[in-house]
């Protein structure tokens, strides 16, 4: 299959050369079984861009790994894990690839929430500079390549494929998803535990139906999207309790107190919803210490942690943490993902990775409410992933989003200077922008003045339950706007803010 990003962390302060660290990282993935026989590793240029190193580093590492028999390189098929290197699953440990001194190469240098967590579903066509979050760069989606996968899926479709497929989803797609999360999220899941849904929305809805009964409690992050509170409270049986987040993520130590403040017993918490890779809307990444605390709390209470791996594919920090579900736990984590942001929202394919005891209850609800996710579309997606088109697209989009993110940050700091505070820039497709110099000015006033100049921005205070920001705060997406338009939009936003501040004065 074509690879996506690999979970490799480099320590630039270490005395170990970077190419040795890359060797150790890939070797460790092979030894742990996260990279398996015949699976492709990213092209050298793509991995260099992901890790922020010279392409020379990756080429040298690939040469060494090939010489040591871990990788094979063939014309036309790329670089893959050797059959004998991954024939068995050894235990954890260092790769053990020795790096002998080498002369430099003479080569060029290379340099959740799910979909409804977006603003109200209103698309504004036209020339407006729209900083709406949650919308990927759809104009850059490789439609012609996707069309080939769709054509291939229909060409192969038999009577069974055109009928009612399995509720759990296409076996081919579930196998591809298993490989993707194993390589990029360090999550070793059996395809039997992967259940395909009609978007991540459906996965969350089914989990609430399965797990939450009368008198039970669902804990969510505060801030979070208003739609999330509606989804988890829609059954009318459970109580939704928001618990604050800080720079390390959900404040686990505060869960019991907030549940009791609602007149509920913490022992009745059945579900704790978190977005650890990119908290919505703050963009904070849950720390390792907070992750351990959450798992320990959930295991003690017998609760399920629902990990919405929101925007995990687009991370711009040097260090990437594995999925929360990759940690050792006693079947307490359900992992939910989708292809809405990496491909396109209209695809409506998501998935849940659940403990074995929840598979049948989950499928029972899915069967009576939705029956199945479109089968041929699943086969097309499996083909798209298997040919490497998915991995290449994610790599291209990561580079594009990195440029657009830089344009937004540059524009905001240029026009607002020290009077702006930005969080969430390490990952995802949006940032949380607080205009500290406009304290006392209403968000709606800034929205109105910006709209008059052709700019659309979206207030963030409505996402906070207990402590809304004291200054005007906005959720600004950048994925769908070219860099020049982002620069123009931030300049016009600054004009609108100056007008609003002057009017108040």
The DSSP result for 31-97, as a single string, is: HTTSS-TTPBPPPHHHHHHHHTS-HHHHHHHHHHHHHTTSEEEETTTEEEE-TTTTSS---S-----
Same domain, 338 and 403: no
| 129 part of a folded domain | no
3 state SS of 434:
strand
Q: How confident is the model at residue 415 (pLDDT cuts 50, 70, 90)?
A: very high
Q: Give the pLDDT of residue 237.
A: 63
| 82 part of a folded domain | yes
Same domain, 264 and 383: yes
Q: Is 47 left (phi over 0), alpha (psi -120 to 50) or beta?
A: alpha
Q: What is the mean pLDDT of residues 364-377?
A: 87
The DSSP result for 267-290, as a single string, is: GGEEEEEE-TTS-TTT-----HHH
Of 142, 112, 118, 139, which Cα lies nearest the Cα of 481? 139
| Residue 490 near residue 433 (C-beta atoms within 8 A) | no
| More confident site: 313 or 275 | 275
Same domain, 367 and 466: no
Q: What is the mean pLDDT of residues 488-494?
A: 97
Enclosing domain of residue 449: 394-504
Q: Give the pLDDT of residue 370.
A: 82
Same domain, 384 and 426: no
Q: Give the pLDDT of residue 275.
A: 94
**401 contacts: CB under 8 Å, gap ≥ 6:** 137, 314, 316, 429, 478, 479
Same domain, 382 and 399: no
What percent of the chain has pLDDT above 70? 88
Q: Give the pLDDT of residue 236.
A: 62
Of 87, 111, 135, which closes a domain? 111
Q: Give the pLDDT of residue 442.
A: 94
Q: How confident is the model at residue 114 (pLDDT cuts 50, 70, 90)?
A: very low
DSSP β-bridge partners for residue 242: 220
Q: Give the pLDDT of residue 9.
A: 83
| 124 part of a folded domain | no
Q: Give the pLDDT of residue 106.
A: 33
For the domain that residue 263 is a member of, what is the CATH number?
A: 3.40.640.10
Flag whether pLDDT at 96 surpasses 70.
no
| 213 part of a folded domain | yes
Tens digits of residue pLDDT in 37-69: 888 899 888 888 888 888 888 988 887 788 778
65-to-21, 75, 234 alpha-carbon distances in Å: 12, 17, 53
* Structural domains in the chain (count): 3
| 417 part of a folded domain | yes
| Residue 78 near residue 43 (C-beta atoms within 8 A) | yes
| 59 part of a folded domain | yes
For the domain that residue 467 is a member of, what is the CATH number?
A: 3.90.1150.10
Q: How confident is the model at residue 357 (pLDDT cuts 50, 70, 90)?
A: very high
DSSP β-bridge partners for residue 477: 430
Of 332, 360, 389, which closes a domain? 389
Q: Give the pLDDT of residue 4.
A: 62
What percent of the chain has pLDDT above 90? 58
Same domain, 384 and 401: no
Same domain, 189 and 88: no
Helix 483-504 and helix 389-416, axial crossing angle in degrees, nearest 10: 30
What is the side-by-side order of every strand in the sheet holding 239-246? 194-197, 350-353, 333-338, 304-308, 269-274, 217-222, 239-246, 249-250
Same domain, 197 and 338: yes
Flag whether pLDDT at 457 surpasses 90.
yes
The DSSP result for 93-109, as a single string, is: ----------PPP-S--
Tens digits of residue pLDDT in 165-187: 889 999 999 999 999 999 889 99
Same domain, 361 and 429: no
Same domain, 12 and 85: yes
Cis amide prior to 428 (ω within 30 degrees): no
């Amino acid at each position: 299959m074509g690879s996506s990003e690999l979970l490799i962390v480099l320590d630039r302060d270490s005395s170990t050369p970077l190419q040795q660290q890359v060797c150790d990282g890939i070797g460790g993935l092979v030894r742990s079984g996260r990279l398996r026989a015949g699976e492709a590793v990213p092209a050298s240029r793509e991995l260099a861009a992901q890790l922020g190193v010279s392409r020379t580093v990756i080429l040298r590492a690939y040469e060494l790994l090939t010489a040591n028999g871990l990788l094979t390189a063939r014309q036309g098929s790329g670089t893959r894990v050797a059959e004998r290197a991954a024939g068995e699953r050894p235990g954890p440990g260092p790769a053990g690839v020795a790096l002998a001194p080498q002369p430099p190469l003479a080569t060029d240098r290379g340099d959740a929430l799910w979909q409804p967590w977006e603003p109200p579903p209103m698309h504004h066509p036209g020339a407006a500079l729209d900083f709406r979050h949650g919308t990927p760069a759809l104009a850059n989606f490789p439609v012609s390549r996707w069309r080939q996968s769709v054509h291939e899926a229909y060409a192969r479709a038999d009577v069974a494929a055109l009928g009612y497929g399995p509720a759990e989803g296409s076996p081919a797609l579930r196998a591809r998803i298993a490989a993707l999360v194993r390589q990029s999220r360090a999550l070793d899941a059996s395809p039997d535990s992967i259940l395909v849904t009609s978007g991540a929305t459906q996965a969350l809805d089914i989990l609430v139906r399965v797990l939450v009964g009368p008198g039970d409690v669902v804990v969510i992050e505060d801030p979070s999207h208003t739609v999330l509170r509606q989804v988890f409270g829609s059954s009318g049986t459970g109580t939704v309790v928001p618990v604050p987040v800080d720079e390390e993520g959900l404040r686990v130590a505060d869960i019991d107190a907030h549940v009791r403040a609602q007149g509920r017993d913490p022992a009745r918490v059945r579900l704790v919803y978190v977005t650890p890779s990119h908290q919505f809307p703050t963009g904070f990444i849950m720390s390792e210490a907070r992750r351990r605390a959450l798992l320990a709390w959930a295991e003690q209470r017998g609760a399920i942690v629902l990990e919405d791996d929101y925007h995990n594919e687009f991370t711009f920090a040097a260090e990437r943490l594995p999925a929360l579900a990759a940690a050792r736990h006693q079947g307490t984590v359900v992992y939910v993902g989708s292809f809405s942001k990496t491909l396109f929202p209209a695809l409506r394919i998501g998935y849940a990775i659940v403990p074995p005891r929840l598979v049948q209850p989950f499928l029972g609800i899915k069967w009576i409410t939705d029956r199945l996710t479109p089968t041929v579309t699943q086969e097309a997606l499996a083909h798209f992933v298997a040919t490497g088109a998915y991995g290449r697209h994610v790599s291209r989009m990561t580079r594009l989003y990195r440029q657009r993110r830089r344009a937004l940050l540059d524009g905001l700091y240029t026009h607002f200077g020290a009077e702006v505070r930005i969080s969430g820039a390490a990952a995802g497709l949006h940032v949380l922008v607080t205009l500290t110099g406009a304290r006392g000015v209403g968000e709606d006033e800034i929205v109105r003045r910006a709209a008059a100049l052709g700019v659309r921005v979206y207030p963030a205070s409505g996402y906070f339950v207990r402590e809304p920001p004291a200054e005007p705060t906005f959720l600004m997406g950048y994925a769908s706007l070219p860099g020049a338009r982002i620069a123009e939009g931030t300049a016009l936003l600054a004009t609108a803010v100056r007008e609003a501040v002057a009017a108040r004065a």
